[in-house]
Structure 1
Amino acid sequence: MSFDIWTTYVVTVLLMMATPGPSQLLMLSNSAANGLRRGMFTAAGDLTANSLQMLAAGLGLAALIATSGTALTIIKWLGVAYLVFLGFRQILKAGAPSSRNAVWTSRNALWMQGFITSATNPKAVVFFAALFPLFIDGALPFWPQFATLSATYLVIDGIFLIAYGGCASWLARRLQGTAKPWLDRIGGSFLILAAVLLGLKSLRTASQ
């Protein structure tokens, strides 16, 4: 793979990530509520799902999944419902007496939230299946190019997630006391917004 092709790919990924999506909004919410160190488990779940999606693309499975309309639609809307549930639960718990000394969300739960949100994002599935071939030279060995594209994406995505999580955690440490319930409500609203984004993407994909 030439440096020019790789650079073009990097620019494409950066442009795609310029606007926060469901995974970034989830990272904001979880890092604000649990701190960046624990929020990193959400990022790990997201990157794990991305790795599996990229592997599926490399094996030719992503295209098959994308053409299975019924199965893909069910997966998408389960993800939407899951985020709505998490968002409303966080909003309802905000400001409750027990929430001021609440136990942080477990690492496994944070990882699972990141994994499910990314795995049910239709843009991620279609992205890897449709975009990777545009940057792969058929005259060169496939797997080294695939590994380069995959590793590059994971690094960029990880940097974005850490940046979002770091900002949210920094803000949360400075908004304590009476401001904390409002921060929780904002975090819950971010989760619901992430669900709305997933739903809109699903409707847009279905109409095409």
Structure 2
Amino acid sequence: MPLETYLVYLSAVMVFFATPPDTSQLLIISNSIRHGLRRSVFTACGDLTANCLQMIAAAFGLAAIVATSATAFLWIKWLGMAYLIWIGLQLILSKEEGRKAAVSDTGSSLRLFRQGFITSMANPFAVVFFGALFPQFIDSGNPVLPQLLILGLTYIVVDGLILLLWGWLGVRATAALQRYSLGLVSKICGGLMILAATLLATKDLQPRR
């Protein structure tokens, strides 16, 4: 892959992330506020693992199948929305357990990983996105697999850095919220999750016919 092509791809990925936070980014902000940046890394790992599976699906041509199945889109879309609302309501209805719990270590690594994984997998548009993006930068005259690995790893690294940045911003927000009660922090986190669900529900995921 020529360096010029790679730099164009890198620029395209950076532009893609120059938007307001999406559902996965809202989730890591929320988990960073509640559990700290170190533990929210597990959420980022879950998200990136889902991205890797979505890239593999795109590479095997499943993007075309998903793009033509309105039923699959709708089911994944609404199940994902319901999951995020469930997380949000749990946070909003959680009871205050004291000021020291404002940044809690109670979220298990597996639970935080699962939240990131399911939230990312709940967006079927990702498979179509990768299936449409990668072919634009692949040289058919050279082996395809190494090019896919380069494109995929680049996306994962950029996405991971962006997620950590949002998580760090969440930690900074925690410092500003320390003078308030844990109940308020939990309600803010729950509101973020419901906002994420709303974004997922209103995003146009209908495939073109």
TM-score (norm 1): 0.91
Counterpart in the other structure of 1:30: 31
Counterpart in the other structure of 2:7: 7
Following the alignment from structure 2 to structure 1, what is the Cα–Cα distance between the partners of residues 88 and 177?
Answer: 20
Range 34-43 or range 116-125, more displaced: 116-125
Aligned 8 A contact 2:68 2:207 in 1 = no
Aligned 8 A contact 2:67 2:207 in 1 = no
**Secondary structure at the counterpart of residue 107 of structure 2:** coil
Counterpart in the other structure of 1:98: 97
Counterpart in the other structure of 1:61: 62
Following superposition, the deviation at residue 157 of structure 1 comes to: 0.2
Aligned-pair RMSD on alpha carbons?
1.8
Range 67-76 or range 51-60, more displaced: 67-76
The amino acid across from 1:206 in the alignment is Q
Following the alignment from structure 1 to structure 2, what is the Cα–Cα distance between the partners of residues 173 and 76?
Answer: 34
Counterpart in the other structure of 2:80: 79
Following superposition, the deviation at residue 88 of structure 1 comes to: 1.6
Following superposition, the deviation at residue 120 of structure 1 comes to: 1.1
Following superposition, the deviation at residue 71 of structure 1 comes to: 2.1
Counterpart in the other structure of 2:144: 142
Stretches of 4+ moved more than 4 A in 1? 99-103
Q: 2:177 aligns with which of 175, 178, 185?
A: 175
In the alignment, does 2:194 pair up with 1:192?
yes
Range 145-154 or range 192-201, more displaced: 192-201
The amino acid across from 2:46 in the alignment is G
Following the alignment from structure 2 to structure 1, what is the Cα–Cα distance between the partners of residues 96 and 51?
Answer: 38
**Secondary structure at the counterpart of residue 206 of structure 2:** helix
Count residues with an aligned counterpart. 204
**Secondary structure at the counterpart of residue 104 of structure 1:** coil
Following superposition, the deviation at residue 186 of structure 1 comes to: 1.7
